[in-house]
Amino acid sequence: MTAARQTAMSPDEALQKLKDGNARFVRGEELNRDYSAQVEATAEGQYPFAMVLGCVDSRAPAELLFDVGFGDIFKARVAGNFVNDDVPGSIEFATRVAGAPLILVMGHTSCGAVKGACENVQLGHVSSLVNEIRPSVEAVTPEGETCSASNAELVDKVAAHNVDRTIAEIRNESAIIAELEAAGEVKIVGAMYDISTGVVQFYE
């Protein structure tokens, strides 16, 4: 990705690049890349077209899922893909400073952090991330029922709701991002990755 290409790319074009990349990944038709050459080419600068906020889950590596190379996307990863104190600054850097026109918040199926939130696990610093996700547990769990980690359908509904809440928090926490979005310079999109199929479902 060059500076000129990044500058000319609209948020919708950036989103389409992620969609096309995931489609190639699912089909097993990833592009051939010379990573050594990409390391050299990006040594003097980077011009990513997207910022991806995802979970730390080892089964959800963004570069592979979207079939992109060195210098193509920024990543912020935290268990449960929520906004903590540091994430807004990283997203502002990726967009306002570095020029990425797309923010993607991506949750995934069978998320361990979400399961922990369903069970309200309290363990060291895990407790703080569980507490961040609990509002989605409470919003999605039917009245009179409890959210169990063994209820796969409910866990995934909580994960999807958590993506929506995270997007809302990004807008609320960052006036810079809200202004960029209002001006049409940046688009914020949610997504869910299915760990059993490799398919990323985008919410627009």
Annotated binding residues for Zn(2+), written as ranges, equal 55, 57, 108, 111
Tell me the C-alpha to C-alpha distance, in Å, between residue 74 and each of 125, 133, 152, 180: 25, 23, 30, 17
Distance CA 62, CA 115 (A): 21
Asked whether the beta carbons of 39 and 70 are under 8 A apart, the reply is yes
Asked whether the beta carbons of 87 and 74 are under 8 A apart, the reply is no
Three-class DSSP category at 74: strand
- Report CA 27 to chain centroid distance, whole Å: 21
Annotated binding site: 55, 57, 108, 111
